[in-house]
Amino acid sequence: MLLEGVETTVDLHDLGQVNPSWKGILSPLYDEGFVQKYIHEQFLENASHYVDVYQNVPHWKDLLGTASRHLALDPAGSPRILDLGSGGGNTVFALHELYPKARMIASDLSVPLLRILKANLERHHEAMSCAIVQMNAEQIVLRNDQMDLVVGGSILHHLFTPEKTLRECYRVLKPGGSAVFFEPFELGNQMLALIFKQLIRMNGRIFLRPRLGRDVVAFFEALCLDYRVRKGIDKSDPVYQHMDDKWLFTRGYFETTARSIGFRKVTIDSLHDPKDMFLNQVKTLLRLGLGKDGTALPGWAVALIRDCDEHFSDEMRAEILIESCILLEK
């Protein structure tokens, strides 16, 4: 059952009618081919592995807690919150801790991810007011002016047309409502690519010991290619049909797009501490991508990355966005 009083643009059906193990997940009944156009095995067959790697509710609570300082929401109130791309529940459970009485709609296009979220909900948050809906974020199935807050934790860069989602968010938000997103940005990531290229060049010099592992070099090369393909706003190339991550954003993209839609205010803040920003992000990427810690970086590699970190003032590093929080106010 959807939240009391919330109206939809289409009829929603309990997927338990299709598969008993999907009971409690509402859906417009998307065609399988439609789903596979937008998401691939990472979020379908490999959903459990994805959640194992990326589930970190405390991290998302910290991010959302910082963003909440800019929101006109009473922590003791009962706001209506739509969570887009909920996955295994990172932002859903973080929001519940921040707004215990919130009435929430958790949504994702992946039924396997929603099953994991539902199991976590039943196991740890049985009393939580939360409807679970299979939903395409580019076509939100809610009527206008109903939500106080829309949240998307790392979802827009997976979409073909993020502008459609931003327009949909504006439509379903109440006047005075807000949308909050957390996304990767081109400038910081392309600077990381330059660092990776320099590390790879330095690694080939005979006098340097120890060297980067072959798997680390291959990982850095793959990231450089990934960042190169994802830059720019033209996503018409067929290659994007096979990529989960499609975008690296710019500040100008969000400011121009949001204002053209009608949002009255746009705020973009870096998610990274300016100190050791690049070094910390390289370590994070190694952990998530290869399961390695900072010891995978020889001393000379750490020194090179630190030199890049120290090349800029704190004020300038705050402008070099790797990942950022985007707050849009209607």
Q: CA 171 to CA 146: how far, in whole Å? A: 9
> Which pLDDT band, with edges at 50, 70 and 90, does 40 fall under?
confident
The closest of 195, 197, 188 to 230, measured between CA atoms, is 188
What are the structure tokens assigned to 4, written together?
């009391």
Residue 187, CA distances (Å) to 67, 98, 233, 324 in order: 22, 31, 14, 11
Q: What pLDDT was estimated at residue 201?
A: 95
Q: CA 146 to CA 188: how far, in whole Å? A: 36
Residue ranges with strand state E in 185-320: 265-270
Q: Which residue has the tokens 């959903």?
A: 47
Residue 18, CA distances (Å) to 15, 240, 285 in order: 5, 31, 39
Q: CA 119 to CA 126: how far, in whole Å? A: 10
pLDDT above 90 (res 213) = yes
Q: How many helices (H) and strands (E) does the chain have?
A: 12, 9
Tell me the β-bridge partners of 238.
Answer: none
What are the structure tokens assigned to 136, written together?
């395409």
Q: Parse the chain into domains and list their residue ranges.
A: 13-184, 186-248+274-319
Model confidence over 273-285: pLDDT tens digits? 888 999 999 999 9
Q: CA 65 to CA 285: how far, in whole Å? A: 24
Model confidence over 152-173: pLDDT tens digits? 999 999 999 999 999 999 999 9
Residue 214, CA distances (Å) to 30, 149, 195, 203, 217 in order: 43, 45, 17, 10, 5
Over the chain, what is the mean pLDDT? 94
Model confidence over 215-264: pLDDT tens digits? 999 999 999 999 999 999 999 999 998 899 999 999 999 999 999 999 99
The conformation of residue 202, written as its DSSP 8-state character, comes to H
Q: CA 141 to CA 12: how far, in whole Å? A: 9
Q: What pLDDT was estimated at residue 37?
A: 87
232-250 b/e with 16+ CB inside 10 Å = b?
eeebeeeebeeeeebbbbb
Q: What pLDDT was estimated at residue 8?
A: 96
Q: What pLDDT was estimated at residue 318?
A: 87
Q: What pLDDT was estimated at residue 206?
A: 75
> Which pLDDT band, with edges at 50, 70 and 90, does 300 fall under?
very high
> Which pLDDT band, with edges at 50, 70 and 90, does 208 fall under?
confident
Q: What pLDDT was estimated at residue 205?
A: 87
Q: What percent of the chain has pLDDT over 90?
A: 88
> Which pLDDT band, with edges at 50, 70 and 90, does 314 fall under?
confident
| Average pLDDT, integer, range 90-118 | 96
| Average pLDDT, integer, range 199-208 | 88
Q: Are 152 and 294 in contact (CB under 8 A)?
A: no
pLDDT above 80 (res 126) = no
pLDDT above 80 (res 127) = no
Model confidence over 134-145: pLDDT tens digits? 999 999 999 999
Q: What is the largest CA-CA distance in the chain?
A: 70
Under CATH, which architecture does the 13-184 domain have? 3-Layer(aba) Sandwich (3.40)
